[in-house]
Amino acid sequence: MTVRDIRGKFIKGVFWKFAERWSTQAVQFCVSMVLARLLMPEDYGVVAIVNVFTAIASVFVEGGMTKALIQKSETDEMDMSTVFYFNVTMGMFFYFILFFAAPVISKIYGDPELIALVRVLGLGLPISGFASVQHALISRRMEFRRFFFSSAAGTMVSAVLGIVMALMGKGAWALVGQHLSNLAIDTLMLWLMMRWVPRGTFSFERFRKLFSFGGRILLSTVINTFYENCFSLIVGKAYSLGDLAYYNRGNTIPSLMTVNLNASIQSVALPAFSAAQDDRDRLRSMVRRAVTVSAYLMLPAMAGLAVTARDIICIVFTEKWLPAVIFMQFSCFVYALWPMHTSNLEAIAACGRSDIYLKQEILKTAIGITVLVSTVGISISAMMAGTAVYCVLSWIINAFPNKRLIGYGFLDQLRDIVPIGLITAAMALSVMAVSSIDINRPLSLILQIMTGAAVYTFLSAAFRISSFVYILDTAKELIKRKRDRLYGV
């Protein structure tokens, strides 16, 4: 595959993955606005606790072996069937663990309803196992348009179901019904589109070879996922489910924006980077572009959200969710660095260095848990401040090996991002100036968004920010290709 082919597939892949994430999440966000008015914060808090345990368990189903299938240069039916049976088995195994652990979880958090919620929401684990190879096949072929259509179907049906259940007074069960129906329909659509069925054999030899790479990625992801959910576990236990609900609500919009971009980059980056793993210069160029473009998009978005957090919470979720403002601002800082983490980690994985990947996750988790344990007895604000420091340290740790692997380390990345940070700061100050004007809240928010977008675009053009120029050139190229195909040139 030539450099032009990889670049073209990467751009198209990010476009379709981004379209899939944004279209489905936009619908889910609209649904969450409705549900936030129909449900109480405690309903969200209860489901948030369950989601922590299912998220950690789901890593075993969707994690390392699927990535190993994507990273491997050549695969066949035996590889795919082996991964399929392993993932389905893991899904069933961890579902049964959650099923029997449900009473213990309920006792820890003092809520009897958790028993049934854990046992029903956990059904998503075996369902995910049935779709894992389809996900890998689409990623390997970089046919991300298929994700768009499968996700759209699941999102629309589950949105209607969730709202109907909330109107019927089902409380937390409305969130459970929405999640499971979305997952089931998405899985069904992938099976219908891919038309791949596993063979009736499992190869222990193939499993051993895939696990030599995927096992370390799997363990790394488990460690990372556990740490990422530690904050929710500790807040729910040390403080209250209400505080946890406010944290999750404040996390909603920053997560919507960042996780979508991050998932788009992550899904496309590994197969694209893997295709260039034997060309160090090309890989470095691709990673640098991924870091700078993601920073160019995410830094202003998160800064803008942080500045306008109070207005957004009141307008979107109503004033009963005002305690979520501080959590939203905290999430903005944390998520602003996520795409940089992802680009560095996928570069390491693409080089086949899952050993480094694992060591990094162990180190970062040890630091992160130490920070949480040290601050939990002080206040939630102290926990958030400590986590913010940890996020910066994580970026440094993630970038460190890439100085040797591809010649693009933390200081190189920082130099590339500083200009973006400076114009982002200028944009944030302009938005804060507009927010001080005494006008009604919706109009103020609109003016803040328009001012921020205008200032950021003007400064990008004035200082010829490289990512801004790259995005414009790429857009022009895509338009030209479309026009050439339309007129048969």
User: Contact 130/62 with Cβ under 8 angstroms?
Assistant: no
- Comparing 283-287, 311-315, 397-401, the range with the smallest average pLDDT is 283-287
List all residues 6 or more positions away from 201 whose beta carbon is below 8 Å from its beta carbon: 78, 81
Percentage of the residues of the chain whose pLDDT score is greater than 90: 18
The pLDDT value recorded for residue 446 is 92
- Comparing 18-22, 52-56, 89-93, 153-157, the range with the smallest average pLDDT is 18-22
- Whether residue 126 is predicted with pLDDT greater than 80 in this model: the reply is yes
The pLDDT value recorded for residue 14 is 55
Any idea what the Cα angle at residue 302 is, between residues 51 and 417, rounded to 5°?
A: 120
Tell how far CA 120 is from the center of its chain: 24
CA atoms within 13 Å, Cβ hemisphere of 112: 0
Structure-block tokens of residue 405 = 């692997």
- Whether residue 62 is predicted with pLDDT greater than 60 in this model: the reply is yes
- Comparing 220-224, 308-312, 458-462, the range with the smallest average pLDDT is 220-224
The pLDDT value recorded for residue 6 is 53
The pLDDT value recorded for residue 171 is 78
- Comparing 133-147, 245-259, 358-372, the range with the smallest average pLDDT is 133-147
For the chain, the helix, strand and coil percentages under 3-state DSSP, each to the nearest 5: 85, 0, 15
Structure-block tokens of residue 228 = 């990422």
Rounded CA-CA distance 98/116 in Å is 11
The pLDDT value recorded for residue 379 is 84
The pLDDT value recorded for residue 243 is 80
Rounded CA-CA distance 417/295 in Å is 7
Structure-block tokens of residue 121 = 């929401």
Structure-block tokens of residue 310 = 């109070």
Query: Three-state DSSP class for 20?
Result: helix
Average pLDDT over residues 65-93: 80
Computed over its alpha carbons, how large is the radius of gyration of the chain?
Answer: 22
Specify which of 125-129, 286-290, 444-448 reaches the highest per-range mean pLDDT. 444-448
Q: How many domains does the chain have?
A: 1
Rounded CA-CA distance 119/101 in Å is 9
Q: Which residue has the higher pLDDT, 132 or 17?
A: 132
Q: Which residue has the higher pLDDT, 95 or 60?
A: 95
The pLDDT value recorded for residue 275 is 63
The pLDDT value recorded for residue 342 is 80
How sure is the predictor about 421, in pLDDT bands with cuts at 50, 70 and 90? Answer: very high
How sure is the predictor about 80, in pLDDT bands with cuts at 50, 70 and 90? Answer: confident
- Whether residue 268 is predicted with pLDDT greater than 60 in this model: the reply is no
The pLDDT value recorded for residue 424 is 96
The pLDDT value recorded for residue 426 is 96
The pLDDT value recorded for residue 81 is 86
Structural domain boundaries enclosing 335: 3-486
The pLDDT value recorded for residue 377 is 84
Q: Which residue has the higher pLDDT, 125 or 474?
A: 125
Q: Mean pLDDT of all residues in the chain? A: 80
User: Contact 269/343 with Cβ under 8 angstroms?
Assistant: yes
Average pLDDT over residues 305-331: 88
In which residue are the tokens 């295709």 written? 275
Rounded CA-CA distance 449/433 in Å is 12
Give pLDDT tens digits for 10-56. Answer: 555 555 555 555 566 666 666 666 666 666 666 767 777 777 788 77
- Whether residue 448 is predicted with pLDDT greater than 90 in this model: the reply is yes
Question: How many helices and strands in the chain, by DSSP H and E?
Answer: 20, 0
Average pLDDT over residues 298-306: 92
Q: Which residue has the higher pLDDT, 117 or 427?
A: 427
Rounded CA-CA distance 219/345 in Å is 14
Q: Which among 218, 283, 222, 253 has a CA at the least distance from the CA of 68?
A: 218
Query: Three-state DSSP class for 376?
Result: coil
* pTM for the predicted model, two decimal places: 0.66
Average pLDDT over residues 417-424: 95
Rounded CA-CA distance 468/419 in Å is 12
Q: Which among 331, 168, 354 has a CA at the least distance from the CA of 248?
A: 331
- Comparing 66-70, 284-288, 420-424, the range with the smallest average pLDDT is 66-70
Give pLDDT tens digits for 174-217. Answer: 888 888 888 888 888 888 877 788 877 788 888 887 777 767 77
The pLDDT value recorded for residue 489 is 55
Percentage of the residues of the chain whose pLDDT score is greater than 70: 81
- Whether residue 170 is predicted with pLDDT greater than 70 in this model: the reply is yes
If phi over 0 gives left and psi between -120 and 50 gives alpha, with beta otherwise, what is residue 171? left
In which residue are the tokens 């994690």 written? 63
C-beta neighbour count of 374 within 10 angstroms: 12
- Comparing 153-167, 249-263, 389-403, the range with the smallest average pLDDT is 249-263
How sure is the predictor about 419, in pLDDT bands with cuts at 50, 70 and 90? Answer: very high
Question: Which residue type, as a one-letter code, is found at position 308?
Answer: T
